Amino acid sequence: MTSPIAPDLPATGRLPARPRAGVWRQLLKRRLAVLGLVIVAIVLAGAILAPWLTGYDPNEQMFDGLTLEGAPLPPGAKFWLGTDLLGRDLLTRILYGARTSLIIGIVANGVALSIGTLVGVTAGYFRGWIGSVLMRFTDLMMAFPALLLAICLAAVFEPSLWIVAMVIALVNWVQTARVIYTETSSLAEREFIDAERTIGAGAPRILFRHILPHLLPTIIVWGTLGISTTVLLEATLSYLGIGVQPPTASWGNIIFENQTYFQAAPWLVFFPGAAILALALAFNLIGDALRDILDPTQRGRA
């Protein structure tokens, strides 16, 4: 088996292939992609089954969850992964935190992807002044230090789960827009699109019938990779204390709340940290495999 990342084929510059039925089967043939799928499945199961997997309430601050001096308890028989600084069960919080990560990962990324596609297709298909305004705006967004922009946005709105998702979406659509723009503009120059135009097809028909289907592989690939970026950004915002509001558990805010103790109680940082890493890694692995399968021209590019 060849490495899924290896750009074995030279860049051909040909049209990206339309998604084929065999994608799923091909995906399952790749070990790393399977690893990614398994991780996602585990996280998803943990998030959905959380109430049945643990006997604790994620927000209950237990009196026997802290020492008399207010220190958290290490992993043990009663609290498998130990407790946090408020005497809550860490395992339970990590399981419920998976919900936050997945919801934001999917919602924020979905919105970002939609904005990115809309901007990219519009700019790439219509060109002209709309195109250049949109693309200049995209350039402008690229020049922002992403985290700083997210921090400022988060400070303007009263934070909640959905606001955090929107903030992330507003920061993350730019990359997608650029890629989609490039692809759309090269598609728009193709003969078959011209042919459609000459037989009098309207823009909506061309866009939905011909352009979007060809863009689908790219959208799928970027959509998968984007979840990883989104999960990381959510964790970072929560780590800075400006993400999801307490007591809602998020992997990032678990670390934020407990990091003053991390030298004495490193498990409070490492378990949620490992969860973030695993989920981000999983989507990166799947996304990369999809890129290989769906779109050989994109291989190996950052």
Partner 1 sequence: MIAYLGRRVIQSLLILLGVSLITFALLYLLPADPVRQIAGRSATPQTVENIRRQLGLDQPFVVQYWHYLMSLLSGDLGRSYIQRSEVTELIVSRLPASLLLMVGAILCELLIGLTMGLIAAVKRGTTTDQTLMVASFVGVSAPQFVVGLLLLYVFAVRLGWFPIGGYGTWRHLVLPSLTMGILGAGWYARMMRSSMIDVLRQDYVRTARAKGLARGAILFRHALPNAILPVIAMIGIDIGIFMGGIVVVESVFGWPGIGQLAWQAIQRVDIPIIMGVTLVSAFAIVLGNLLADIVAPFIDPRIKLR
Partner 2 sequence: MKKFLTSTVAASALALMLGMASARAEDAVDPNAKQGGAITVTYKDDVATLDPAIGYDWQNWSMIKSLFDGLMDYEPGTTNLKPDLAESYEIAPDGKTFTFKLRHGVKFHNGREMTADDVKYSLDRVTNPKTQSPGAGFFGSIKGYDDVAAGKAESLSGVTVVDPYTIKFELTRPDATFLHVMAINFAHVVPKEEVEKYGADFGKHPVGTGAFKLAEWTLGQRIVFERNPDYWHKGLPHLDKVTFEIGQEPIVALLRLQKGEIDIPGDGIPPAKFQEVMADPEQKARVVEGGQLHTGYITMNTTMAPFDNVKVRQAVNMAINKDRIVQLINNRAVPANQPLPPSMPGYDKAFKGYPHDVAKAKALLAEAGHPDGFETQLFAMNTDPNPRIAQAIQQDLAAIGIKASIQSLAQANVIAAGGDKAGAPMIWSGGMAWIADFPDPSNFYGPILGCAGAVPGGWNWSWYCNKDLDAKAAEADSVVDPAKAGERDKMWSAIYDKIMADAPWAPVFNEQRFTMKSARMGGADNLYVDPVHIPINYDNVYVNDVQ
Residues of this chain that interact with partner 1 (CB under 8 A) are 2-3, 5-7, 32, 136-137, 139-140, 142-148, 151-153, 155-156, 158, 228, 232, 235-236, 239-240, 252, 255, 259, 262-263, 266, 269-270, 273, 276-277, 280-281, 284-285, 288, 299-300, 302
The answer to whether the beta carbons of residues 237 and 246 sit under 8 Å apart is: no
Interface mask (CB under 8 A) for partner 2, residues 217-256, using x and -? Answer: ------------------------xx--xxx-----x--x
| Among partner 2, partner 1, none, residue 129 binds (CB under 5-8 Å by kind) | none
User: What gap in Å lies between CA 81 and CA 258, rounded to an integer?
Assistant: 14
| CB of 62 or CB of 299, closer to partner 1 | 299
Helical ranges in 87-211 per DSSP H = 90-126, 128-143, 146-156, 161-188, 191-198, 203-205
User: What gap in Å lies between CA 241 and CA 237, rounded to an integer?
Assistant: 6
Q: Name, in order, each residue with C-beta under 8 angstroms of 46's C-beta and a sequence gap of 6 or more.
A: 53, 94, 95, 98
Tell me the closest approach of the beta carbon of residue 102 to partner 1, in angstroms.
16
| CB of 103 or CB of 211, closer to partner 1 | 103
* Site for partner 2 contains 137 (CB under 8 A): no
The rounded Cα 263 to chain-centroid distance in angstroms is 30
User: How many CB atoms neighbour CB 111 within 10 A?
Assistant: 18
Contacts with partner 2 by CB under 8 A lie at: 59-61, 63, 66, 68-71, 85-86, 155, 158-159, 241-242, 245-247, 253, 256-257, 259-265
